Structure 1
């Protein structure tokens, strides 16, 4: 399993963190679920606007594909006004994963 990690900062003068997370859940997540090899996502956020998205993928190729298919760039372009600066991104092999059961509503 592989992970794509995106580090970002929300411009909280334009949108609060809770609203940005809701936009991700309602608009981006359904599209993300349609990407080949998608295996899940963690969204980490602070009230101050710092955030980390960790998306999980079956293969390295699937993890990298959103960059080559244009999906990632299209999503960034669509929501560019909510970021303070362009997000950073990297790919990692998942060496250990022990996640708690989700408590999200």
Structure 2
């Protein structure tokens, strides 16, 4: 399994971190589910607008498939106005995981 880590800063003068997470859930997550090899995501945020998304992928190829063209840059372009600066992104191989069960809010 592979993970992509995206670090970002939401411009909280334009949208609250809570509303940005809800926007992700409502507008981006359904399309993310359609991406080949998608295996899940963690979305983390602070009230100040700092955020991290860890998306999980079945293969390294799936983790990189939408990177240079396609899904990822299209999403960034569509929502660029809510970021303070362009998000950073890296890919990792998942060496170990133990995640707690968290209720969706």
Partner of 1:10: 10
TM-score using structure 1 length: 0.97
Superposed structure 1 runs of 4+ greater than 3 Å apart? none
Aligned equivalent of 2:53: 53
Deviation at 1:69, TM superposition (A): 4.1
TM-score (normalizing by structure 2): 0.97
Q: CA RMSD in A?
A: 0.8
- Structure 2 gaps of 5+ residues are none
Alignment length (residue pairs): 105
Counterpart CA distance in 2 for 1:66 and 1:56 is 13
Structure 1 runs not aligned, ≥5 long: none
